[in-house]
Amino acid sequence: MSDDIEIDIDAIIKRMDGALSSLKHDFSTLRTGRASASMLDTIMVDAYGAMTPISQVATINVPESRMLSVNVWDKGLVIAVDKAIRNSGLGINPVMDGTFLRIPIPELNEERRTELSKVAGTYAENARISVRNVRRDGMDQIKKAKSDGMGEDDEKIWQDEVQEVTDKLIKSIDAALEAKQAEIMQV
């Protein structure tokens, strides 16, 4: 490889890994019939005149596999938190008890499981697109280095390296999707 022209493969790998990490976070927010505190990560509450993540106004716990508990710190925000959870589209309904909300996680029906499986597929496709965009940026770097004097052999080596990393990440995304869809469809 050329001594004076280098491609930052580590930065490319880091960006691709970021797409996979983002996908895993997105998957954690999908409801699968089991309680998970991360289910509520995307819910925003109208608190003190601003939209605030629920985790900044309450403590979220998982006391049982099919139950979430939300302990709201400010008594004045309990109704706002309850309303935000009900309107979140997760299909869950809290039960209020003072500043404490209990949220039973109901079983998913077959139609909802199929719908969630499609949502998971959309998340995975978005991650694949991100990885391909990073690959394209890497290939553009290689083309620029070629025009700056990189040899054809080095160009081929770098292109193969970027493609190998891309293929590996796409396989990881596909494996994560397959695992999540199996989890969603599990009765």
User: Look-up: residue for tokens 């995307």?
Assistant: 42
State the pLDDT at residue 1: 42
Residue 93: pLDDT band by 50, 70, 90 thresholds? confident
Average pLDDT over every residue of 78-100: 87
CA–CA separation, 31 and 116 (whole Å):
8
Q: Which is more confident, 19 or 5? A: 19
Average pLDDT over every residue of 117-123: 89
User: Does the CA dihedral 173-122-44-54 come out positive or negative?
Assistant: negative
Residue 2 above 60 pLDDT?
no
Q: Where are the domains of the chain?
A: 9-27+109-185, 34-104
State the pLDDT at residue 125: 95
The H or E element that residue 68 is part of is strand 67-72
Q: Kindly report the pTM of this predicted structure.
A: 0.70
- Where does 39-77 have alpha helices with state H? none
The H or E element that residue 96 is part of is strand 95-97
Among the four given CATH numbers 3.30.1360.40, 3.40.50.170, 3.20.20.140, 3.90.1200.10, the one describing domain 34-104: 3.30.1360.40
Q: Are 56 and 101 in contact (CB under 8 A)?
A: no
Residue 34 above 90 pLDDT?
no
CATH class of domain segment(s) 9-27+109-185: mainly alpha
User: Does the CA dihedral 157-158-159-163 come out positive or negative?
Assistant: positive
CA–CA separation, 9 and 15 (whole Å):
10
Percent of the residues in the chain that have a pLDDT greater than 90, as a whole number? 49
Name 95's bridge partners.
102
Average pLDDT, whole number, for the chain? 87
Q: Which is more confident, 34 or 159? A: 159
Residue 66 above 50 pLDDT?
yes
Using only C-alpha atoms, the chain has a radius of gyration, in whole angstroms, of 22
